[in-house]
């Protein structure tokens, strides 16, 4: 079973060598780390050191939106800023962190993480006909820098449609929201 460490905001060069040597994956949670002011993972250094870095959102207390598209954008922009290099963490790299690297960290690289014959049919369909998507210099660039969760038109997992155009196909969203509100009232 793969081992996944979270955050990695204070890793040293020695830590990176140990993580790589032991095959430990790292879940980078940039928005959570910003909200908590806990530090910034050196993603470029980790990847150059041989660590598989994927993206995470952390828990609701540390990241209210859980929007993986926001995580991709922030992961890229923070690495550009931290390294003072506008070519750091390009769109293709953060898309890989969200897909193939994530599947690898779960031990599912042989069945998920990309669209290819024989793999799970896990995918999102994105609405590309909205103001955020209008200026398109390339699909990867838009996915990494313009897209948000609001652009998702359909979610398919293992070939099963879970969400389509505002309708949740497998859960009672009204009951879920009601139960969540009731739970939140306990904390008031």
Q: Which of 96, 30, 98 is nearest to 63 (CA)?
A: 30
Q: What is the pLDDT along the chain (188 residues), one digit of tens a residue?
A: 689 999 999 999 999 999 999 999 999 999 999 999 999 999 999 999 999 999 999 988 888 889 999 999 999 999 999 999 999 999 999 999 999 999 999 999 999 999 999 999 999 999 999 998 998 899 999 999 999 999 999 999 999 999 999 999 999 999 999 998 999 888 77
Locus of tokens 């859980």: 66
Q: What's the pTM?
A: 0.90
Q: Which of 73, 72, 70, 76 is nearest to 89 (CA)?
A: 76
Long-range contacts of 106-109 (CB under 8 A, 24+ apart): 106/2, 107/1, 107/2
Strand partners, 6: 27
Strand partners, 163: 155, 168
Q: Which of 128, 133, 129, 121 is nearest to 162 (CA)?
A: 121
| CA-to-CA dists, residue 80 to 18, 38, 153, 161, angstroms | 25, 18, 30, 36
Q: Which domains does the chain have, with CATH numbers?
A: 1-109 (3.20.20.140), 121-188 (2.30.40.10)
**Distance in angstroms (rounded) separating the CA atoms of residues 168 and 161:** 9
Question: Are 143 and 92 in contact, with CB atoms under 8 Å apart?
Answer: no
């Amino acid at each position: 079973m793969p081992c996944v460490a979270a955050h990695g905001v204070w890793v040293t060069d020695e830590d990176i060598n140990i993580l790589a040597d032991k095959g430990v994956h790292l879940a980078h949670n940039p928005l959570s780390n910003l909200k908590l002011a806990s530090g910034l993972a050196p993603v470029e250094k980790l990847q150059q050191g041989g660590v598989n870095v994927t993206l995470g959102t952390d828990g609701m207390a540390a990241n209210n939106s859980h929007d993986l598209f926001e995580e991709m954008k922030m992961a890229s922009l923070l690495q550009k800023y931290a390294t003072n290099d506008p070519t750091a963490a390009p769109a293709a790299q953060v898309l890989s962190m969200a897909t193939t690297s994530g599947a690898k960290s779960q031990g599912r690289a042989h069945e998920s993480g990309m669209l290819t014959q024989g793999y799970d049919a896990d995918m999102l369909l994105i609405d590309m006909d909205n103001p955020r998507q209008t200026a398109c210099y390339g699909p990867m660039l838009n996915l990494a820098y313009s897209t948000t969760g609001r652009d998702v038109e359909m979610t398919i997992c293992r070939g099963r449609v879970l969400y389509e155009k505002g309708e949740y196909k497998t859960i009672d969203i009204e009951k879920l929201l009601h139960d969540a509100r009731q739970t939140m009232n306990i904390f008031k």
